[in-house]
Structure formats: structure tokens, C-alpha cells
Amino acid sequence: MTWNIHGAVGRNRRFDLARVVALIQRHEPDIVALQEIDSRRPGTGADNPFVVLQEALGRHGIGAKSITTTDGEYGQVLISRWPLAACEVFDISYREREPRRAIRAEIDTPLGPLRVIATHLGLSVGERRNQAKALLDLAGSDAMTTVVLGDFNDWFWAGSVRQVLAGALPGLTRHRTFPSICPMLRLDRIYCRPHNTLVRGWSDTAARHLSDHLPVIADVRIVNEPRVALTGPGHAEREAGPVRAQESADT
């Protein structure tokens, strides 16, 4: 699952992290990427949103804090039900633009290894073109099932992120996610390879009151021989079934 939570500030302009967590938990994602996490906002209280989200959504995770000030931190997280291996945070900032990061991790799922790259790209065309090429390098060219997800801020076709990524990561979602109250732009996506990795994808309009983006959720097939059956709530008889990924992003 991927979702730009907009600092957990909804249409009523109130900070409400509990409602954000509740919506994510309703989908029971195995892997969730969240962007625009912000502990600098008044009203966050003593509980750091990075810590609260990690404790509520998964046993394993890694944060990428692109801005750190005396007031707090701003950035994104990748959270998983299963252990993360070879985790790295990459600086993909472009010239003097806003700092941007990409998280790359190999996740040890019960169905085999899965490479996941979570990101939040910039606002200018040239910036995103440069960052999309960096994502291709991070995705590699081997046969491992790979998912790249996040807020790509991509609404132009010419030189677009989609044009760069779709050839190497042909399985992709196409949901309109921004602005959440009346979605017109497909800013938030899940890309994956091989093509048959993507089983299905959907969004959740209930999120329109909680953020300016809608989330994108997908069932993803691990193209490896299954090793053990998944266990726990919501995973009965999913021995060879898909993994559920959710991603979030911000503008």
C-alpha cells in the first residue's frame, strides 16, 4: 500500500494520526510506504509520528528523513510485516531543489525475496526525469521480483517518469489519486516486474477526508517457489497467494 498522508492533516486541518492508522489497518497491508510524515507540525504532541506509525503497522521498517530541524523531522517510511535485508536510503535530490530520498530494501517474505523501492519525487520535470533514472539504477536488472512505489508527482507525458519506468517495470497501477476530494491526476503509483507480478490494484475514497492524496493498494505476486504458508490474521491459506502492498506519497 502507498499513501501520501499529508502530515496526517485532513480536510478539517486537524492533525489526526489515529484515523490515518485506522484506514491503513483496514487494508491489512503486508508492506506499506508512507510519504509526507511530519513531526514538525503543532499538535503532534510528544508522540513522534515516525515511531507511532512503525509501532502500529509492522514489525520492521526504515525511515528516510529528508528534512530535520529543531522543530522535528519530515520524510517517509517503508514498513513491512517481514524482515528487511540490505536496507539503504539514497539521496536523489536534484541541484538546489527540495531534498528527496529513496528507500531500497530486500524483504524476506515467506514466498521468496522481494526488492522494494519507496520514494517521493520532485515537482519539476527535469528533476523527476533525473530521479526516475536513479530509480532504474536502484531497481537493477536481475530477475528478482521488484516493486517501485510512492508519490511520483508525475502528470506530464513528455519525458515523464512513467515513460522512463514502464519499460523496465511494466506492471503498473493507473488510479487517479490527487486531489483526493476529486481525483484527476495519477501521482501515486505502484510499478513492478515481471509484468504478471501485479495481480490487481485499487484505491480507497474514504481517505479523501484524511489527506490530499488517495492511497493505492495492490496485490503483488512473488515470482518464486513458495517456501512456507503465511500465518496470522488475514493470511489463512495464502501459501502461494499474493503479497499486499500499500504506498503513500505527497506533493
* Span 98-115, average pLDDT: 95
Task: Give pLDDT, residue 211.
Answer: 96
Tell me the pLDDT tens digit for each residue of 30-50. 999 999 999 886 655 567 899
- For residue 247, give the nearest of 130, 119, 75 by alpha carbon: 119
pLDDT of 248 over the 80 cut:
no
CB within 8 A of 161, min separation 6: which ones?
A: 121, 128, 129, 131, 132, 152, 154
Distance CA 181, CA 111 (A): 37
pLDDT of 83 over the 70 cut:
yes
**Weakest-pLDDT range from 19-28, 63-72, 181-190, 221-230:** 221-230
Mean pLDDT score across all residues of the chain? 88
Which sequence spans correspond to the domains of the chain?
2-248
**Confidence band, pLDDT 50/70/90 cuts, at residue 250:** very low
pLDDT of 120 over the 80 cut:
yes
Dihedrals φ, ψ of 101, to 5°? -130, 160
Do residues 131 and 148 make contact, with C-beta atoms less than 8 angstroms apart? Answer: no
Task: Give pLDDT, residue 182.
Answer: 96
The secondary structure element, H or E, covering residue 219 is strand 216-220
First to last CA, the chain: 17
**Confidence band, pLDDT 50/70/90 cuts, at residue 156:** confident
pLDDT of 107 over the 90 cut:
yes
Task: Give pLDDT, residue 72.
Answer: 82
* Span 63-85, average pLDDT: 92
Q: Per CATH, the architecture of 2-248 is what?
A: 4-Layer Sandwich (3.60)
The model's pTM: 0.87
pLDDT of 24 over the 80 cut:
yes
